[in-house]
Amino acid sequence: AAVTMPVRYRDGDMQRGNPVVLSRAARQDVVRGGVNLGCRGLIERRPDLVNVFESDSDGYFVDIDTPQSYRDVAG
């Protein structure tokens, strides 16, 4: 699989977690600019490239991508 990511199911809905891990080949494609594998659209369009593992650990489902989101989580 080119992409590995945590998921959990709540009330029948799948929630995607973080981090999304890219294979070496996938990273090379991203660096070359060929594909944006971090894109939700690719994950939805190419499920054959995705390996998921189920986890209920809340840490996988907190998205920290800005200084403010870090402050919100860190308190």
In the DSSP assignment, the letter for residue 34 is: S
What is the pTM for the complete model shown? 0.68
Q: pLDDT tens digits for 46-61?
A: 889 899 999 999 999 9
Where are the chain's structural domains? 3-58
7: Cβ contacts below 8 Å, ≥ 6 apart? 14, 15, 16, 17, 52, 53, 54, 55
Q: Cα-flanking dihedrals φ and ψ of residue 13, to 5°? A: -105, 140
* Residue scoring higher pLDDT (37 or 10): 10
Q: Given this model, what pLDDT does residue 35 score?
A: 62
